[in-house]
Amino acid sequence: MTDQYVLDLRQVDETQVAVVGGKGAHLGGLSRIEGVRVPDGFCVTTDAFRRIMAEAPSIDDQLDRLACVAPDDREGIRTLSARVRRTIEETAVPGDLAAAITGAHARLGERAACAVRSSATAEDLPTASFAGQQDTYMNVVGPRAVLEHVSRCWASLFTERAVTYRLRNGIDHRTVHMAVVVQRMVLPRAAGVLFTADPVTGNRKVATVDAGFGLGEALVSGLVNPDVFTVRDGEVVTRSIATKRRAVHAVPTGGTREVALDPGRRTEPALTDAQAVRLVRLGRRIEAHFGGPQDVEWCLDDDGFQIVQSRPITTLFPIPGSGSGDQENRVYVSVGHQQMMTDPMRPLGLSVWQLTAMAPMHEAGGRLFVDVTQRLASPASRAALLDVMGRGDPLVRDALETVLSHDGFVPALPEMAPAARTAGGPPPGGAPAPIETDPAIVTELVERSRTSVAALERDIRTKSGPALFDFLLEAFEEHKRVLGDPLNIQAIMAGIQATWWLNDKLLEWLGEKNAADTLTLSAPGNVTSEMGLALLDVADVIRPWPQVVAFLEGAEGLLGDGFLDELPKLPGGAEARAAIEDYLDRYGMRCVGEIDITRPRWRERPAALVPVILDHVRNFAPGAAARRFEQGLRKAREKEREVLSRLRALPEGDRKAEETRRMIDRVRTFIGYREYPKYGIVSRYFVYKQALLAEAERLVRAGVLSEKEDAFYLTFEELRDVVRSHRVDDGLVRRRKDAFRSYHALTPPRVITSDGEALTGAYRREDVPAGALVGVPVSAGTVEGRARVVLDMAEADLEAGDILVTAFTDPSWSPLFVGITGLVTEVGGLMTHGAVIAREYGLPAVVGVERATRLIRDGQRIRVHGTDGYVEILP
C-alpha cells in the first residue's frame, strides 16, 4: 500500500517523523524489531492534514490570533483553541482522501475494530515527550466512525494543553503537523506500561512494569492502581499487587466501558513473574533499537505480548561518559553544584571549561561532572573526600554514602602503605602544606594573576585564524599553571581551614555555632564583596541627577546596550557614564553563570546592571558602601574581643585564647583571597571570548556561519576545524541548539552513577521544627522578612528588608546582597561564593534548600535561621 495520504505501518520507520509523526514513526520502527509484535495498521500522513488545513475556512486568521495569546491566558487559549478544533472537525474530508482512508481500513477487515491515535510531528521525540497532549480513541468500529475519529485526531493538535505547551516553548503552531495512526484493536487480558529505566531514580539497569486487567486505559486514567513489578538482571526483585476493583473492556458495537471485576480476581496479579521478566526482555530489545530508555505501552493477549507504543523517557538525566564504552561502575559528582551554576552550558562553554579545568570532567545534559570513583574506592582518599564534600555540601556527602551502601558498586581498594600514599603527593582531598600568616603572600598572588592576565591581553592581540587556536591552547596551560600554583592552593586552603578550625573549636569550647561568620565580616581583599559595594558607589554618583535617574527608570527593561552613549546628553550624564564605565573596567568580565564563556558579560550587556543600580539609588543613602564596610569591621573586632575574653575565663584559657587569636589573624589574612582565583578565571575567559567572537564574526562575513553566536554551539576543537576549513555542518548547529533548549527541562543531580541512578542526598536531621525547610547554615543570625523569589538577576525588584530566595548565586549576584537582609538558595555549601559573601556582609543565610523557589512563594513572610540551617514559612 503506497499513497500520498496513507502508508502501511510496515512501510514506515523512525526516520519518517515528518510524514507520519512521532508515534507513527516509532510504531513503524517497532514493527521492524525481531521478536516484537505490533498490531497491524496504517498511517494517515501529514500531507492529509495539510490538505485539510488548506481547505478549512478562515484557519489562517485563527492561527494568527492563537499565536498572539499569552501562555498564561487560559481563557483566551480555551476560546480560540476550541474554535480551531471546531473548524477542523467541521471541514469535510475530500472524496479521494476519504477513499484512501476507508480503503486502507477495509484491508484490516470491513468490521475490524480499530484504535485511532494522533501522531504529531513534534511528539515522542528524544528531547521532548508530548504524551497525552493529543487524542486517542479506542475500539472504533466501521469506516464512517474511523473517518470521524481521524478528523478528531487532526483537531486534537489544538487541545488547550498542546497549544499552551507550544506557546510556552516557543513552537510555531504552523510548524507542527498531525498524522493519524489506525491499528487493529487488541482485546487484551492485561495491559500496562513498561519503563526500561527506573523513572524515579533513573537507574538504567532497573525496569518497572505497571500492569492491570483489560485495556490500559484503566491505568492511564487512574481508575485503578496498577500491579508494579521491579525487574533487575533478569529477575523480579520487588512486586506490589494492587486490589483492582474495576477494568475497562471493549464494547462489541464500539467504544469502551468500565466493568467490575469478580471479587476473586481483584487481588490476583495481572502478570506472572515470568511474564514480567519476558516483557522486560522485549523492552531491552526496543531500548537497544531506539538507543535510549523507553516508556513502552503493551498488551497481553492469548498469543503473547503486543507493543502498541514506545516513546523516549525524556525526564532522565543523561549519564556522564556514557559514550566511552567503559563498563566499569562509576560515580560522578556535579561540578555545577560546586560552582553555583546548575544551568546548562553551551558546547563551547563546556569544552573551554574542560580544557582549563584542573581535573578531567565529563559532560551530560549540558552540565559537567567529575569522576570520583577511584577516590571512593581507596579508604584513605574516601575519608578525605567525604569530609571535604560534607563540609561543603552535606547533601553530596549523603548521596555518596548512599552509593557506598550499595554492596559492591564501588569496589574497595586495599589500604595503601604510607610510603605509597605519599609518593605522588598528598591523597586527593588531602590538605596542602601550611604557609605562614603573611598578607604579603596574598599581595604576591594577586600580582602574579594580574601580570599573567596582562600578558594574555597583550599577546593575543596579534593572533587570528588557526594560529589563535594554537595560542589559546598554550594560554589554557598557563591558565592551569596559575590555578595549580602550590602557593595559590595553600592560600585558599589556609582561609578555609582556619574557618573550619574556628567553627569547630569555638563550638567545642564556648558552645557557639558558626562563630567564624562574624569574625570574617569585612575581611580585606575580597574582590567579590568589593564588587558589590562598588555598585553602591556608582549609585551615589547617579542619585543627585534626577534626569539621569528618570531616564534609567523610564527605560528600565527597554534599554539597549548603547544606553551609555545616551547618558552624556543629560545633566549629570557624563559623570554617570564615567562611574559605570569605571565599574565595567574592573568588573565588566563578570555575569550570571560566568563559568560558561558563552554567557553575555556585563561589559557586553551593561543594561543588566541598571535594575540593581536603581534599587541602590532608592534604598540607600550616600556613603552606604563605606559605612557598611566599617560596620562589618567594627562587629568583627567586637566579636574577637568578646570571644578571646570568654576563652581566657576557661581552664587553659590563655592557651585557647592565643590559639584562637592566631587563627582569627589567619582567617582574616586569607579568607578574602578565596574569591580572587575565580576573578582571575573570568578575567581570562573574557579575553578568550573576545578573541573567539572576532573569529566568529569573520566566519559570518565569509558566509560560513549564519550568526556569530552559532560558534557557541561548537566545541573548541570543532570551531578550530571550521576556522581552518571554512565549512560547518549547519545541521549539527541546529541539533545542538535543540538539545540545549531541552537541557533546561532537566534537573542535574548532585551525584549520578554509571547506572544512571541520580541522587540528591538528604539531611537526615531531627532538630528542626515541623514543616521547616532544611538546608546548610552558612551565615549566622536569624532574620524575618518578605521573601523575594528571583530566578533572573535582571528581574530583581528588591526593597529594604527583603530576603532573597533563588536557585543559586555566583559572584555576579553580589551587588544584590547589599540590599537584602537574608539569603536562601537551592544550591550551595559552606565555602561556595554566595555563602562567603553572605558572611562578609553579615546576612543570615541558608543554602542547599531543596526546591526552595517552588516551596516559598514570592511575597510570603519567612524566617531564616542562618545559625541552625532552616527556613520557616510564616502564616
CA-wise closest residue to 385 among 417, 346, 344, 428: 428
Distance CA 341, CA 809 (A): 7
**C-alpha neighbours within 13 Å on the C-beta side of residue 537:** 16
295: left (phi over 0), alpha (psi -120 to 50) or beta: beta
Write the CA distances from 556 to 385, 563, 622, 780, 797, integer angstroms.
47, 11, 22, 35, 11
Q: CA-based diameter of the chain, in Å?
A: 101
C-alpha–C-alpha distance, residues 366 and 342, integer Å? 9
Quote the CA–CA distance of 501 and 387 in Å, as a whole number.
Answer: 14
Catalytic residues: 833
Q: Which residue has the cell 546592571?
A: 609
Listed residue (346, 342, 316) closest to 740, CA to CA:
346
Q: With CA atoms as reference, report the closest residue to 612 among 828, 302, 820, 345.
A: 820
According to DSSP, residue 332 is labeled E
Distance (Å, whole) CA 317 – CA 744: 11
Question: What are the grid coordinates assigned to 875, written together?
Answer: 502564616
Alpha-carbon gap, residue 48 to 45, rounded angstroms: 6
* Long-range contacts of 272-277, Cβ-Cβ distance < 8 Å, separation of 24 or more: 273/229, 273/235, 273/236, 273/239, 275/300, 276/209, 276/211, 276/229, 276/231, 276/236, 276/239, 277/231, 277/234, 277/235, 277/236
Radius of gyration of the chain (CA): 31
Alpha helices in 362-485 (DSSP H): 373-377, 379-392, 394-404, 418-423, 439-460, 465-484
C-alpha cell, 131: 504524551
Q: How far apart are CA 216 and CA 279, in angstroms?
A: 15
**DSSP line for 642-693:** HHHHHHHTSTTHHHHHHHHHHHHHHHHHHGGGGGHHHHHHHHHHHHHHHHHH
DSSP 86-137: HHHHHSPPPHHHHHHHHHHHHHH-TT-EEEEEEEETTSSBTTB--TTSS-EE
Beta bridge partners of residue 643, listed in sequence order: none
Buried b (16+ CB within 10 A) or exposed e, 499-524: bbbbbebbeebbebebbbbbbbbbbe
d(CA 489, CA 486): 5
